[in-house]
Amino acid sequence: MAQQLSSSSHRPFNMVKHAPVCHSQSMRTLAHQLVRYADTDATIVIRGETGSGKERVARWLHALSTRTQGQFMAVNCGAIPSELVEAELFGTTAGAFTGARQRPGWFERAHQGTLLLDEIGEMPLAAQAVLLRVLEDGVFWRVGSERPTKVDVRILCATHRNLEADVRTGRFRLDLFHRISALILEVPPLRKRREDLHTLTEQLLPTHVHRLTPAAWRALEKYPWPGNIRELKNVLVRASLNAQSPKIGPNDLDLRYHEDAPTVATKNGTTALKPLDQVVSQYVLDAVRGCEGNVRAAARHLKVSPTTVYRYLAMGSENSR
């Protein structure tokens, strides 16, 4: 059983902080891989759908490693404006640009610890080239500095994207992909680990006052969970607020995809169909990101007008509220 595993440094598996629930075979397999990979400094790519718990897995890997006394830090590469990537990752020196002050970046702050580059597939190509150079030798320059800085940090990368496909389309650098993907961990979606659902639900319920009725449990078990564990947490928070008594019923859950919602079979199982406008909006958003935020370039690739691109971006923003 996964709960009986221990890492090479003999830390009991079930005592590790942030350890994910591992009743399902897919999660037990992942647990075995993590224990084997914990004490290597090889860069690891953690892949999985949005909301599946990739950062939790990264924290677990750090806690099992010999770097556990160091900091675990996570930075969302997709949330950093392209012009600020180097400053955020590597820091700045005073006077490097107007208003700049002496400030360490994420790499320095994670020295002797672990740095998770979350959503690395969203990083602009120019920043990918800089990152590749740093990963090769651990040396970088703060923005505005004339002296190099060397750090000792273990790099983990997380993504929901298919990086191999992004390499083929030119969205992700082939050399960087080879550099970071010495080891790859696949985090299974919640629909592939339903044996973990009960324990996860009990952990994520906001209060100990509420309990789910048998009908509510059945609704959770039948639901496809397109948003994975993050969606489960949000559903339970909503249910605890909606419930008029300590017993949470199926109506309190307010599941976004109802039992009669159409589904489609994929190689990863059955999933609920999304409205067409949401699918198109996401496709347009991906195109704009692939063009590093240049709407006109994305419009040329999509063979539509920039106005159409802006319209779908606005539509996607409304859908996400």
**Which pLDDT tens digit goes with each residue over 226-250?**
899 999 999 999 888 888 888 998 8
The pLDDT of residue 316 is: 59
User: Quick check: 182 pLDDT over 60?
Assistant: yes
CATH says 193-263 is which class? mainly alpha
Q: Other CB atoms closer than 10 Å to residue 308's CB: what's the count?
A: 13
Q: What is the pLDDT of residues 2-53, one digit of tens each?
A: 334 444 444 544 545 556 788 899 999 999 999 999 888 899 999 999 999 9
In single-letter form, the type of residue at position 133 comes to: R
User: Quick check: 306 pLDDT over 60?
Assistant: yes
In single-letter form, the type of residue at position 198 comes to: H
b/e sequence 231-248, b meaning 16+ C-beta within 10 Å: bbbebbebbbeebeeeeb
| 94 touches 101 (CB < 8 A) | yes
Quick one: 278 exposed, middle or buried, by C-beta within 10 A (0-12, 13-18, 19+)?
Answer: middle
User: Quick check: 320 pLDDT over 60?
Assistant: no
Average pLDDT over residues 257-281: 55
What are the phi and psi torsion angles at 273 (to 5°)? -75, 140
Q: Chain-wide mean pLDDT for the chain? A: 82
CATH topology of domain 276-316: Arc Repressor Mutant, subunit A (1.10.10)
Residue of 316, 266, 267, 264 lying closest to 287 (CA atoms): 316
Q: Report how far residue 181's alpha carbon sits from residue 163's, in angstroms, rounded to the nearest whole number.
A: 10
At 74 the three-state DSSP class reads strand
Q: Report how far residue 170's alpha carbon sits from residue 31's, in angstroms, rounded to the nearest whole number.
A: 33
Tell me the pairing of strands 263-266 and 269-272. Answer: antiparallel
The pLDDT of residue 274 is: 60
* Residue predicted with more confidence, 64 or 267: 64
User: Quick check: 218 pLDDT over 90?
Assistant: yes
The pLDDT of residue 105 is: 86
Torsion of CA 155, 158, 161, 166, to 10 degrees: 0
What are the structural domain ranges in the chain? 2-186, 193-263, 276-316
CATH topology of domain 2-186: Rossmann fold (3.40.50)
Quick one: 299 exposed, middle or buried, by C-beta within 10 A (0-12, 13-18, 19+)?
Answer: buried
Q: Which residues pair with 183 in a beta bridge?
A: 44
At 184 the three-state DSSP class reads strand
Q: Report how far residue 311's alpha carbon sits from residue 285's, in angstroms, rounded to the nearest whole number.
A: 11
